[in-house]
Amino acid sequence: MIEKKRIYTLVTLCIATAVAITIARADQPEFPELMSNARYVELRSKNDSLMMCEDSVQRLVNEVRDEFSRNRDSVTNPVDIDRFTSHILTLEEAIFEIRQQRGDIITEINDIEQEYIVRHMYSDAHAEERANSVPADSTATSEPARE
């Protein structure tokens, strides 16, 4: 029994560590060089704010649904039922709007990142071509070595 608890604890710790590492990496930009791009930083900040806002509104939706479920037996008046459903619908519309805004922002972030990738792939390809065209030993001559 104790061995099972140890295994369970070990597995739980491994999962918690993996989740913590994933969360820590999620906060870091994929391309740190883009953090000098003011528009990119602004878009990431807006996306983070909207994500927190979306989470808050989603929690409100869940709270209203839970309240409705807890009071289902006592809420028999159609006006009260309409009030709950109208409130939930309003919150879900807000979530939809937030998600649309985030979608637009994420599209713009992706465009900036793709432009960065293409620009650097192109410049890296030319740098590699230039490196391949220059002899490895620039002091080498075409004359054969004398004995």
Task: Tell me the helices (H) and strands (E) count for the chain, helix number first.
Answer: 3, 0
Condensed to tens digits (0 to 9), the pLDDT of residues 9-48 reads 656 665 666 655 555 545 566 788 899 999 999 999 999 9
CB distance 40 to 112 below 8 Å = yes
Query: Per the structure block, which two tokens stand in for 16?
Result: 């918690």
The per-residue pLDDT for range 63-118, each reduced to its tens digit, is: 989 988 888 778 778 888 888 888 899 999 999 999 999 999 999 999 999 999 99
Task: List b or e across 102-119, with b for residues whose CB sees 16 or more CB atoms inside 10 angstroms.
Answer: beebeebbeebeeebeee
Which residues lie below 8 Å from residue 53, measured CB to CB, with a gap of 6+?
98
- CA quadruple 119, 120, 124, 130: dihedral sign: positive
Confidence tier at 49 by pLDDT (50, 70, 90): very high
Residue 119 tokens, joined: 């620009």
